[in-house]
């Protein structure tokens, strides 16, 4: 699969994004009987382990407005965020039938209880709620996490009989290292030339990393780089913003577009946080690759609302990001009823004030269709910075 | 005669059903008076009584003159005329009230101008509505005085300039509520006899046959043995506690009476939507209701109809003409109204927009249904909104898509379901 | 045939609201700058056509042609305006329109037909912080308009009536559509029209006070938008504010309904000269 | 309307008053104050260091009952909290911002230690992360309790908690209190805890009687007070439960129903099991809807948040730290959904309930997410009538009497119909 033109390449990503049947994954699975599909929810999971078990980790980020919610509302009251509804809807309407298992990373109470709902509803499938340590001492939290990961790999082994072995896991880590490297380049490119790579296109490419197998994705992304180089687009008079708080339930594409159309280039965001979770290259030459993953998680992961901040204030880290990306301001954009994001907001806002960084905030849900209020707010934000400063 | 009465005081309409001792419906009445629940209940009950009497006349004529096969054609026409006379009484009353209002205006020039305008407007409205009644284009239970009048009136003044338009709407708004809320003591006998005179010429032959029956039936005692009130306003009724019952149970029971195999009931009323699961005896096992927000219930469509200045009963048929459903992004009724205007200005066909709006209301109802436990076989759709063909269409579509092959019932008298359930409860009184 | 006037600094601001269209003709460099203001209810007409008609009328009245205008700016739902050069967002324009009259304003509240927006200003008039109502029309201008219909009074009568109330009815968070039933119930219970209106003003005012506290509003608070013409509402907001000891000075700006249009016209002038500057 | 006071109740009142007096005197006594959470609390450990616990959740609940929560929540929302998040957090932060005046009207001492024991609810972590900024001088200790995702306690989870206790929690306790950890002292507290726990279980079990002598929800929140919070591990607590147990036995012997604010319930018409916390802002009004209808709660999940003693767990002096770890892991909301359904199923059967009700709390995801599934599952398994209402813990804006009443009216009429027609009588 090679693309000669940027819009075709993006169209490919869009098609994958819109395909709520995950047919890419199904096709991948058909090629070999030991292949399995493991769905995972936001935010972070160590995909390397799944990969080396010969399984495809597929990110499930809800289904936005691409599926009408009928059954989902029977599972969740109106004052719970929207994402778990479309996840249920996908399951109920058979779109996840080809999946062999699901991993629910510890992120919040909703996802936690969703794992229980899946257990009640899908008795025959592999369901795992994966707890991450909130203690960052290697011999305490690290030890616990290592045991959790070991338990995960033994459980996966039971599915297809494929053992996770050291050199294969090392290989998996290296190929994901490469993915992380490429994605970081893409992020840097977007930040430098936001007019060439719109937030929506960037997002679609990122989503592809959670749909395609890594062996297909890495060349796809290299292909994109070649095409991006050829693009010739003039920058517009827009301000630069960072989006914070959308790490789980995803804002609708229309919303991302609205923000940019209203005059704000998005130069950094946390929509697909899993992809940038590990901030360092993980060593691939150890005889303890699980240990390497544990170390990466404990010592080299990005700040997030779902991780105990300890003595590294998240606000300062966000301010750092603003500086790195030369952003004019921060847009706190969180799903309605999202505890992790919304409970962080007061302190993050205070931190932005402290650093004299402009910000504004709003809430959304994944199937929002009316962007009026957001357009006005984003527009005013841009006006304010443009007209006066 | 032993009869039982059920009254459903809805948020937008009040319904009454009278049944006999064999649980057979003998009369229905409905009003959209919303002033005071006592008045609304009285009016609905009075209407049900009139309807019962006409039914009794019909039954007796059928038995006494079986050779005349025409009764089923004549009686509805008689009822039309009867309803027209009721309408006319209110209409006269309203026009007087409005004229009094106009006479109080300070600006005498304006006063004169408006009086002139009103004379022709009243004449036109009366004529056109009379035609509607006489040709059976309205049936007394689907169109109310306010709706009939206001659509015609607003249409007539639409093109006047701002000051006159504003004044004339204000005059109407000020007059309608008191007029609507007045109990007019219609004399059944007198009014039906006058209606008899209004029968078309070719039916005048029945005049003398019917007359004695009307006189006789007018005096039958229809005071109920027992009665039960239900619905949104039931708490406000001056009834004793044992005469009040939750509308959820009444709707379920009524739906079960129409369709004994019902297991799931969806009721979309004026201000609330209910999803109810029932067992084989018509008893509720679980239910869900929406919050107090117009989005997703009858008033949503009512508001849209007002925005477009057409009557609610026209909405559905227009939406049925759509080639696809315009996506409506706003949930709020008012915002949806604004979106409707926007879309119209962008050149979208009104049929498609309306279809989108209808679909939206059904989608909301399905969230509630899901929460109450889904849709089980058989599924019965009740409430005033079940009269809207476009809503029925989308309900059917969504049931089939999401729950498979399920028998779907909807009764032409579905608006009376709650009242029927209440009447049945009062007749059985086991609880 | 009219001549294009050279050396003039006329700008036009067009604020397309959901129920009214407001247009301001401004002489950017003159004092007083405002030449003409129009406020026209859309009333189910096509807004684009209506705008064209109003613009033509204004131009004719002042003996101008379109080419005399150095800038035509839209705001509100103004994306659909055809003959415009730039668009500014409502909060930016309402802030600017207010700043024009009250450079000392610290907070602006725009109360329109569907939305309420509050913004706090810096001393330069720059919008610092803001909030607006969301997806529910309860307490909006449209809500108030609906209520007046159920009560049978016109929108201009609302304010004076509210001021006469002695015993406001307690209402809260009622749906703009279902309010009909509530209001009819109130009327039938014999409650006075002015008390119902006042009660409704109180519930609207509570919403506004809440928005104000959200952005930690400072005094003076200037009200704009169509609802600021409602003297009853303005008084109620002031009262409620006093009750809660917020100590804010609150008043409506002159020509409040047109603040957005004026602001747009002024920003238009600003951009025009800025562009000239950058070109040379 | 005052609650008829029994001895145990007076006793509890006194215990609370004493505790608050002690709190107001910390400046003189030099005692250190620990803020922490009810589920999985380490009260024995706190007392083993002679420190005093404060439970922000309990303060929030009390503020709700005293009708101050509305103001506090508004304050917190002005501070920057969203309308959508847990109202306990907002109520607590609001109270703090308005001077930290506690339930007795006296100012509460600020924390010397924030013990972030993160058990069963994710919000706990966010809550204390916020408090950390509001009390910059306090030390903070994190104790992370993994979820029982597999439906059982995994050995590595036990080990993880014990490791955290020894490397993080106890050292911080030692640092803040200036005292060395004394395992014997802890063991002796644990022993007393177990005694009180035995008695509490007996009290809850008494609901198997007909009529039930207790209301395990509205009454239950009073019964659990001492054991779930500041008093576990004290002799006073054991004494309280002895008294309570005596009273309950007396009611059983005399065939009496539970005590309500309007006196002893005359006729028990419905026996219900409820899932979800109660509403505090309108507690009496809410309760009244039920006892007016003759409805008694024979079991509730909420009264198990501070420990599921009826499932067999007891604090134990042997391997005290291990016992604490097991306690934390076993809390109600720390169990996975299938386990919770089984538990509710078991209670409905054991206490012969004829209805199941969910009181869904608008701002509490920990409880709310999944409740609808729990309800459907129980309806399916037991063919029992189910009801669903929505309120909030302490946000008065979310308590709509007419809405709740309307739903409950129908629910009760539904139960009535059932009992009359299908013979599912109690
Ligand atoms: N003929 C009709 N065609 C379409 N819709 C109708 C018709 N008659 C009534 N309705 C709808 O039914 C609603 C009233 O339903 P109803 O069940 O009586 O409600 P409630 O019991 O709450 O008053 C109205 O709001 C209107 O939208
Ligand atoms: N004469 C008036 N007196 C009081 N209120 C008025 C008057 N005219 C309009 N309004 C109010 O102003 C609102 C319209 O405000 P406006 O700022 O023009 O809104 P938009 O820009 O959204 O159209 C109306 O909904 C109405 O409530
Ligand atoms: S959107 Fe927020 S609350 Fe919802 S599942 Fe994701 S993290 Fe949890
Ligand atoms: S959202 Fe709209 S329809 Fe719903 S309550 Fe608010 S105003 Fe009414
Ligand atoms: S979300 Fe629920 S369990 Fe968690 S702190 Fe809030 S009230 Fe407690």
Give kind and range of the element (H or E) at residue C245: none
For the stretch B309-366, pLDDT in tens is 888 889 999 999 999 999 998 989 999 999 999 899 889 999 999 999 999 999 999 9
Closest CA to A81 of D85, D395, D390, D126: D85
> Between A129, A144, A334, which is nearest D149 by CB?
A129
The structural domains of chain B, with segments of one domain joined by +, span 1-68+201-246+420-431, 82-180, 260-410
Residue with tokens 């008191």: B178
Q: Cβ(C95)–Cβ(C127) under 8 Å?
A: yes
pLDDT of residue C4: 58
Min Cα distance A336 → chain D (Å) is 7
**Distance, CA of A194 to CA of B189 (rounded, Å):** 82
Phi-psi region of C225 (alpha: psi -120 to 50; beta: other; left: phi over 0): left
Residues of D within 8 A of B246 (CB-CB) are 406, 409-410, 413
Of B363, B359, B273, B275, the closest CA to residue B316 belongs to B359
Token code pair at residue C75? 């705001």
Per-residue model confidence as pLDDT tens digits over A175-231: 999 999 999 999 999 999 999 999 999 999 999 999 999 999 999 999 999 999 999
Residues of B whose CB is below 8 A from C44: 309, 341
- The bound ligand whose nearest atom lies closest to the alpha carbon of B294 is 4
Q: C244: nearest CA in chain D?
A: D71
Chains touching B, CB cut-off 8 Å, 3+ pairs: A, C, D
pLDDT exceeds 50 at position B140: no
Nearest residue (CA) to ligand 3, atom 2: A338
C7: left (phi over 0), alpha (psi -120 to 50) or beta: left
B383 phi-psi bin (left φ>0, alpha ψ -120 to 50, beta other): left
pLDDT-wise least confident of A170-184, B254-268, C176-190: C176-190
Q: Which region among B9-18, B99-108, B233-242 has the lowest average model confidence (pLDDT)?
A: B233-242
- Provide the pLDDT for residue D2: 42
Give the pLDDT of residue B369.
Answer: 94
Q: Is the pLDDT of residue A139 over 60?
A: yes
The phi and psi torsions of C174 (rounded to 5 degrees) equal -90, 145
A335 lines ligand 3 (CB under 6 A): yes
Q: Model confidence at B139, in pLDDT bands (50, 70, 90)?
A: low
Structure token digits, residue C201? 């003003």
Best residue among C133, C136, C142, C144 to mutate for probing ligand 4's pocket (most ligand atoms within 8 Å of CB) is C136
Residue B6 phi, psi (nearest 5): -125, 135
Q: pLDDT higher for D406 or A23?
A: A23
ipTM over 0.90: no
Question: What pLDDT, on the 0 to 100 scale, is given for residue B150?
Answer: 86
**Taking the CA of residue A285 as centre, how many other CA atoms within 13 Å lie in the half-sphere pointing to its CB?**
0
| Residues of chain D positioned with their CB less than 8 A from the CB of C218 | none
State how beta strands A101-105 and A126-130 pair.
parallel
Q: Please give the share of chain A, as a percent, with pLDDT higher than 90.
A: 91
Residues with CB under 6 A from ligand 2: C 17-20, 76, 112-114, 141-142, 144-145, 155-156, 158-159, 225-227, 229-230, 257
Beta partners for residue C11, in sequence order: C26, C71
Which residue of C14, C17, C20, C223 sits with most ligand 2 atoms within 8 Å of its CB, as the best mutation to test the pocket?
Answer: C20
User: CB within 8 A of A242, min separation 6: which ones?
Assistant: A266, A267, A268, A269, A318, A321, A322, A325, A327, A329, A330, A331
Q: Which residues of chain D have pLDDT under 70?
A: 1-5, 420-426
- Please name each of the domains of chain D with its CATH number: 7-182 (3.40.50.11890)
Hey, is the C-beta of B187 within 8 angstroms of any chain D C-beta?
A: no
Measured between alpha carbons, how far is A119 from A102 in angstroms, rounded to an integer? 10
Q: Where are the alpha helices (DSSP H) in chain C?
A: 47-61, 90-101, 141-151, 155-164, 179-188, 193-214, 231-243, 259-279
- Using the structure block, give the residue that is written with the tokens 């290299």: A222
Phi, psi of A384 (to 5 degrees): -60, -45
Cβ pair A74:B373 closer than 8 A = yes
Mean per-residue pLDDT of chain B: 89
Cα gap B91→B97, rounded to integer Å: 10
With a cut of 80, say whether residue C245 has pLDDT above it.
Answer: no
Residue B382 reports pLDDT greater than 80? yes
Instruction: For each of the domains in chain C, give its residue range(s) and CATH number, in order of start.
Output: 10-94+258-278 (3.30.420.40), 104-252 (3.30.420.40)
Tokens encoding A327: 């952003």
Name which of B251, D236, D147 is nearest A128 in CA terms: D147
- A68 contacts on B by Cβ (under 8 Å): 363
Sheet holding D270-275, edge to edge: D295-300, D270-275, D355-361, D386-391
Q: Which of B288, B421, B413 is nearest to D417 (CA)?
A: B421
Q: Is the dihedral of CA A26, A28, A33, A34 positive or negative?
A: negative
| Fold topology of B260-410 | Nucleotidyltransferase; domain 5 (3.30.420)
Q: What is the CATH number of domain B1-68+201-246+420-431?
A: 3.30.420
Residue C3 has pLDDT above 60, yes or no: no
Same fold, B1-68+201-246+420-431 and B260-410: yes
Tell which residue, A258, A228, A231, has the closest CA to residue A243. A258
CB-CB under 8 Å, C92 with A380? yes
Cβ proximity of C197 and C159 under 8 Å? no
d(CA A269, CA A257): 14
Rg (CA), chain A: 20
Query: Contact D260/D252 with Cβ under 8 angstroms?
Result: no
Q: What was the pLDDT predicted at A123?
A: 83
Q: Is A127 in the pocket of ligand 3 (CB under 6 A)?
A: no
Report the SS3 class of residue A46: coil
- Work out the angle at residue C207's Cα, subtended by the Cα atoms of residues C204 and C208, and round it to the nearest 5 degrees: 90
Residue from C199, C209, C144, C200 nearest C166 by CA: C199
pLDDT band at C204 (very low <50, low <70, confident <90, very high): very high
| CATH architecture observed for domain A14-167 | 3-Layer(aba) Sandwich (3.40)
Which ligand is nearest to the Cα of residue A61, counting in written order?
Answer: 3
CB contact under 8 A, C126 and A388: yes
Residue D207's CB is within 10 A of a number of other CB atoms, namely: 29
Element housing C25 (H / E): strand C20-27
Q: Which of C217, C243, C258, C14 is nearest to C109 (CA)?
A: C217
Residues with CB under 6 A from ligand 4: B 293-295, 332-334; C 136-138, 175-177
Question: In this prediction, what percent of chain C has a pLDDT beyond 70?
Answer: 97
Residue B12 confidence (pLDDT)? 81
CB–CB of A370/B335 below 8 Å?
yes
Query: pLDDT value at position C1?
Result: 46
Residue C59 CA to residue B66 CA, distance in Å, equals: 79
Residue A142 DSSP symbol:
I
Distance C150 CA to ligand 2 centre (A): 17
Q: Where are the alpha helices (DSSP H) in D25-55?
A: 26-29, 43-48
Mean pLDDT of chain C: 90
Tokens 């064999």 belong to residue:
B22
Q: Which residues contact A378 (CB under 8 A, 6 or more apart)?
A: A258, A259, A262, A263, A264, A331, A360
Best of D77, D94, D149, D375 to substitute, by most chain A Cβ atoms within 10 angstroms, is D149
Q: Which residues of C touch B330 (CB under 8 A)?
A: 135
pLDDT tens digits along C69-100:
999 999 998 877 888 888 999 999 999 999 99
Cα D12 to averaged position of ligand 4 atoms, centre (Å): 46
String of DSSP letters for B407-431: -EEE-TTGGGHHHHHHHHHHHH---
Say if residue B132's pLDDT is above 90.
Answer: no
Interchain CB distance below 8 Å, B246 and D385: no
Distance separating alpha carbons of residues A275 and C199, to the nearest angstrom: 54
Confidence of residue C46 (pLDDT cuts 50, 70, 90): confident
pLDDT value at position C6? 60
Instruction: Determine how β-strand C221-224 pairs with β-strand C107-111.
Output: parallel
In whole angstroms, give the CA distance from residue B408 to residue A96: 30
């Amino acid at each position: 699969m090679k693309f000669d033109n940027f819009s075709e390449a993006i169209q490919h990503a869009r098609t994958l994004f819109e395909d709520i049947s995950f047919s890419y994954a199904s096709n991948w699975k058909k090629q070999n009987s030991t292949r399995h599909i493991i769905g995972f929810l936001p935010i972070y999971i160590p995909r390397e382990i799944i990969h080396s078990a010969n399984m495809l980790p597929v990110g499930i980020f809800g289904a936005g407005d691409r599926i009408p919610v009928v059954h989902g509302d029977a599972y969740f009251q109106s004052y719970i965020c929207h994402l778990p509804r479309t996840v249920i809807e996908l399951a109920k309407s058979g779109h996840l039938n080809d999946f062999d298992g699901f991993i629910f990373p510890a992120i919040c109470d909703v996802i936690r209880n969703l794992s229980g709902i899946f257990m009640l509803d899908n008795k025959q499938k592999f369901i795992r709620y994966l707890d991450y340590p909130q203690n960052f001492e290697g011999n305490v939290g690290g030890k616990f996490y290592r045991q959790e990961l070991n338990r995960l790999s033994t459980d996966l082994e039971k599915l297809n009989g494929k053992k996770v072995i050291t050199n294969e896991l090392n290989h998996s880590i290296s190929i994901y290292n490469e993915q992380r490297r490429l994605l970081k380049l893409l992020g840097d490119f977007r930040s430098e030339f936001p007019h060439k790579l719109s937030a929506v296109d960037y997002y679609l490419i990122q989503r592809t990393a959670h749909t395609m197998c890594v062996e297909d994705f890495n060349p796809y992304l290299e292909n994109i780089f070649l095409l991006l180089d050829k693009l010739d687009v003039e920058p517009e008079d827009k301000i630069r913003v960072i989006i914070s708080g959308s790490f789980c339930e995803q804002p609708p594409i229309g919303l991302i577009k609205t923000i940019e159309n209203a005059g704000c280039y998005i130069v950094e965001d946390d929509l697909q946080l899993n992809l940038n979770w590990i901030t360092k290259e993980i060593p691939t030459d150890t005889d303890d690759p699980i240990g390497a993953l544990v170390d990466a998680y404990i010592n080299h992961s990005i700040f997030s609302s779902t991780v105990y901040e300890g003595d590294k204030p998240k606000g300062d880290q966000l301010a750092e990001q603003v500086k790195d990306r030369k952003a004019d301001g921060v847009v706190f954009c969180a799903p309605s009823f999202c505890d992790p994001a919304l409970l962080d907001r007061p302190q993050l806002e205070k931190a932005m004030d402290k650093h004299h960084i402009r910000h504004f905030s709003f809430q959304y849900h994944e199937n929002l269709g009316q962007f009026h209020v957001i357009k006005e707010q984003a527009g005013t934000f841009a006006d304010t910075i443009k007209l006066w400063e | 005669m032993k009869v039982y009465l059920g009254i459903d005081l809805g948020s937008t309409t009040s319904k009454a059903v009278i049944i006999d001792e064999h649980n057979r419906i003998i009369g229905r009445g409905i009003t959209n008076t919303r002033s005071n629940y006592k008045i609304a209940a009285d009016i609905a009950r009075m209407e049900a009584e009139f309807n019962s009497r006409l039914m009794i006349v019909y039954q007796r004529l059928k038995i006494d003159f079986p050779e005349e096969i025409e009764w089923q054609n004549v009686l509805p026409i008689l009822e039309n005329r009867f309803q027209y006379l009721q309408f006319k009484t209110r209409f006269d009353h309203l026009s007087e009230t409005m004229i009094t209002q106009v006479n109080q205006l300070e600006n005498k020039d304006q006063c004169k101008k408006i009086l002139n305008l009103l004379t022709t407007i009243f004449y036109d409205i009366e004529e056109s509505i009379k035609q509607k009644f006489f040709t059976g284009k309205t049936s007394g239970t689907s169109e109310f005085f306010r709706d009939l009048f206001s659509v015609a009136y607003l249409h007539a003044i639409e093109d006047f300039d701002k000051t006159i338009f504003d004044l004339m709407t204000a005059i109407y708004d000020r007059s309608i509520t008191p007029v609507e809320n007045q109990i007019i003591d219609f004399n059944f006998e007198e009014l039906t006899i006058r209606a008899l005179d209004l029968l078309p010429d070719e039916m005048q032959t029945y005049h003398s046959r019917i007359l004695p029956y009307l006189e006789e039936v007018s005096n039958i005692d229809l005071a109920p043995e027992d009665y039960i009130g239900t619905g949104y306003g039931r708490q406000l009724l001056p009834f004793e506690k044992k005469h009040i019952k939750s509308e959820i149970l009444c709707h379920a029971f009524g739906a079960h009476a129409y369709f004994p195999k019902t297991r799931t009931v969806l009721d979309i009323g004026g201000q609330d939507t209910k999803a109810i699961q029932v067992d084989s005896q018509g008893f509720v096992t679980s239910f869900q209701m929406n919050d107090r927000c117009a989005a997703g219930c009858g008033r949503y469509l009512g508001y849209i109809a007002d925005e477009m200045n057409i009557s609610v009963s026209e909405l559905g048929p227009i939406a049925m003409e759509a080639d696809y459903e315009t996506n409506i992004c706003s949930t709020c009724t008012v915002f949806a109204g604004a979106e409707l205007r926007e879309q119209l200005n962008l050149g979208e066909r009104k049929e498609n927009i309306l279809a989108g709006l209808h679909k939206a209301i059904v989608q909301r109802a399905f969230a509630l249904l899901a929460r109450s436990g889904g849709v089980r076989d058989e599924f019965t759709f009740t409430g005033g909104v079940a009269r809207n063909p476009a809503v029925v269409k989308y309900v059917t579509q969504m049931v089939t898509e999401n729950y498979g092959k399920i028998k779907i019932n909807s009764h032409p008298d579905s608006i009376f379901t709650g009242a029927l359930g209440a009447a049945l409860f009062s007749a059985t009184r086991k609880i | 045939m009219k001549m294009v006037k050279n050396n003039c600094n006329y700008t036009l601001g067009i604020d397309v609201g959901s129920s009214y269209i407001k247009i301001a003709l401004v002489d950017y460099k003159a004092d007083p700058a405002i030449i003409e203001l129009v406020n026209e209810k859309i009333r189910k007409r096509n807004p684009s056509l209506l705008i064209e008609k109003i613009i033509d009328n204004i131009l004719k009245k002042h003996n101008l042609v379109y080419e005399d205008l150095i800038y035509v700016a839209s705001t509100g739902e103004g994306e659909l305006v055809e003959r415009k050069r730039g668009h500014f967002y409502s909060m930016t324009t309402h802030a600017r329109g207010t700043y024009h009259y009250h450079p000392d304003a610290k907070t602006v509240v725009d109360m329109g037909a569907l939305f309420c927006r509050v913004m706090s200003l810096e001393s330069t008039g720059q919008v610092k912080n803001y909030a607006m109502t969301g997806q529910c029309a309860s307490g909006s201008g449209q809500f108030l308009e609906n209520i007046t219909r159920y009560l049978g009074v016109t929108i201009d009568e609302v304010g004076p009536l509210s001021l006469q109330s002695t015993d406001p009815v307690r209402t809260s968070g009622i749906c703009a559509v279902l309010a009909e039933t509530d209001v009819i119930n109130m009327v039938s219970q014999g409650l006075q029209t002015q008390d119902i209106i006042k009660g409704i003003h109180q519930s609207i005012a509570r919403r506004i006070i809440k928005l104000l506290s959200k952005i930690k509003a400072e005094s003076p608070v200037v009200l704009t938008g169509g609802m600021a013409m409602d003297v009853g509402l303005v008084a109620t907001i002031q009262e409620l504010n006093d009750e809660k000891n917020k100590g804010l000075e609150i008043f409506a700006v002159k020509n409040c309904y047109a603040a957005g249009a004026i602001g747009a016209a002024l920003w238009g002038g600003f951009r025009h000269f800025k562009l000239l500057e950058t070109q040379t | 309307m005052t609650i008829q006071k029994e001895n145990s109740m007076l006793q509890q009142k006194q215990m609370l008053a004493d505790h608050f007096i002690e709190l107001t005197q910390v400046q003189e006594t030099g005692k250190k104050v620990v803020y922490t959470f009810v589920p999985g609390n380490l009260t024995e450990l706190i007392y083993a260091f002679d420190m005093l616990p404060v439970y922000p959740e309990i303060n929030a609940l009390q503020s709700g009952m005293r009708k101050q929560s509305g103001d506090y929540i508004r304050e917190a929302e002005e501070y920057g909290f969203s309308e959508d998040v847990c109202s306990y957090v907002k109520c607590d932060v609001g109270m703090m911002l308005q001077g930290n005046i506690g339930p007795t009207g006296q100012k509460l001492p600020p924390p010397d230690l924030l013990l972030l024991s993160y058990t069963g609810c994710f919000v706990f972590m966010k809550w204390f992360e916020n408090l950390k900024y509001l009390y910059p001088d306090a030390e903070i200790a994190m104790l992370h309790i993994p979820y029982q995702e597999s439906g059982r306690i995994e050995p590595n989870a036990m080990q993880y908690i014990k490791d955290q206790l020894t490397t993080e929690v106890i050292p911080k306790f030692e640092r803040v209190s200036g005292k060395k950890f004394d395992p014997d002292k802890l063991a002796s507290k644990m022993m007393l805890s177990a005694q009180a726990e035995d008695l509490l279980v007996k009290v809850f079990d008494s609901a198997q009687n007909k009529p039930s002598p207790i209301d395990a929800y509205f009454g239950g929140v009073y019964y659990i007070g001492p054991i779930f919070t500041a008093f576990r591990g004290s002799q006073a607590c054991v004494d309280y439960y002895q008294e309570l147990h005596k009273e309950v036995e007396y009611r059983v012997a005399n065939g009496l129903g539970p005590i309500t604010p309007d006196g002893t319930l005359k006729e028990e018409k419905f026996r219900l099991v409820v899932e979800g916390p109660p509403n505090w802002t309108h507690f009496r009004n809410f309760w009244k809807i039920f006892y007016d209808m003759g409805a008694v709660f024979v079991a509730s999940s909420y009264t198990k948040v501070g420990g599921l003693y009826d499932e067999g767990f007891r604090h134990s002096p042997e391997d005290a730290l291990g016992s604490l770890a097991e306690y934390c892991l076993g809390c109600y909301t720390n169990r996975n959904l299938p386990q919770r359904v089984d538990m509710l199923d078991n209670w409905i059967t054991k206490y012969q309930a004829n209805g199941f009700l969910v009181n869904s709390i608008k701002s509490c995801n920990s409880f709310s997410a999944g409740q609808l599934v729990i309800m459907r599952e129980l309806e399916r398994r037991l063919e029992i009538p189910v009801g669903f209402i929505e309120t909030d813990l302490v946000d008065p804006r979310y308590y709509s009497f007419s809405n709740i009443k309307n739903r409950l009216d129908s629910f009760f009429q539904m139960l009535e119909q059932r009992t009359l027609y299908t013979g599912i009588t109690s």
